[in-house]
Amino acid sequence: MRAIEQRTRREACHWPALGWAGVMLVAICWPLNWTLPGFRTSYLFFPLWLGYILVVDALVQTQTGSSIWMRSRRDFVLLFLISAPVWWLFELINLRTENWEYLGPELFDPLQLPLSTISFTVVAPAVFETAELIGNFGLMDRFASGPRLPSTHAVFAGLFVVGLAMLSAMLAWPTLFYPFAWIALVFILEPINRWTGRPYFLKELREGDWRTVISLSVGALVCGFFWEMWNYYSFPKWIYHIPGLGFWRIFEMPLLGYGGYIPFALELYALKNFIWPNGPRLQN
């Protein structure tokens, strides 16, 4: 047992080769994405974010001797594959809310669809890797015993009805209820996941364990900062149209808009559990 513990500590302190590959990708793609002429982001977005993901995975390895990549290469790759259809769902919702638009994608037709899809593959891995990194900080232990939330059939039935009402209101009156795009799916999917025997994070809140929720929330905020920062000098890029909140911008995103990353992370996790219940889970 002691030999295993010593080996784990040595592995945790060793910076892995994939981590160096990630550092190189970020170091090369970041300046190129901000300085090259033309529509460089169409091709540099994926390798830049792949670099970020590899760096964060390496940081988790140095913390714990484990990571999503180390636990299962297959799961690591599949996480990219499920990410694209999940983000396309939000792109479909945005057709109704019109909260963001892309500048310049028409310049690389007919490759717009495949290049966009490739870019969308990094969303889930980036958030989940960062959430696992956050979750392994010692500070997170204080959230292991927090307020307990009720977890009865009536509560989940109520959440489901509220989620459907939110989704309906958003689709009917998007100018007023567009924020529901980032929370309605949580209210709908958590009950479905519970009723169908899939994992659901509200089960942990029933026990007073808030670590997964906090890790996902902070992880998404960290990713959000990098998304918005790297987007600022990119091309093509996205800009926002957020009624009533379009002030105090940090990069292109209004300050209060960053709050949407918190429920988005929970939606992302609920969607992952719904689509891929046996997929990788966060390890605190």
Domain assignment present for residue 29? The answer is yes
CA separation for the pair 153, 170 (Å, rounded)? 26
Domain assignment present for residue 104? The answer is yes
Per-residue tens of pLDDT for the chain, all 284 residues: 444 444 444 455 689 999 999 999 999 999 999 999 988 999 999 999 999 999 999 999 999 999 999 999 999 999 999 999 999 999 999 999 999 999 987 766 677 889 999 999 999 999 999 999 999 998 888 998 889 988 889 999 999 999 999 999 999 999 999 999 999 999 999 999 999 999 999 999 999 999 999 999 999 999 999 999 999 999 999 999 999 888 899 999 999 999 999 999 999 999 999 999 988 777 76
Residue 57: which domain range?
A: 2-275
Which tokens sit at 104?
């310049």
Tally of residues, the chain: 284
CA separation for the pair 52, 46 (Å, rounded)? 10
pLDDT confidence of residue 10: 47
Alpha helix positions (H), 98-201: 112-120, 123-135, 153-172, 174-177, 184-195
Domain assignment present for residue 267? The answer is yes
Domain assignment present for residue 90? The answer is yes
Asked if residue 184 lies in contact with residue 166, where contact means CB atoms within 8 angstroms, the answer is: yes
Domain assignment present for residue 280? The answer is no
Task: Check residue 196 and report its DSSP letter.
Answer: T
Peptide bond into 37 cis (omega under 30): no
Domain assignment present for residue 281? The answer is no
**Dihedral angle over CA of 68, 74, 80, 86, nearest 10:** -100
Asked if residue 55 lies in contact with residue 49, where contact means CB atoms within 8 angstroms, the answer is: no
Domain assignment present for residue 284? The answer is no
Task: Check residue 150 and report its DSSP letter.
Answer: P
HSE-up (13 A, CA, CB side) for residue 232: 13
Provide the domain count of the chain: 1
pLDDT confidence of residue 140: 86
Domain assignment present for residue 208? The answer is yes
pLDDT confidence of residue 8: 47
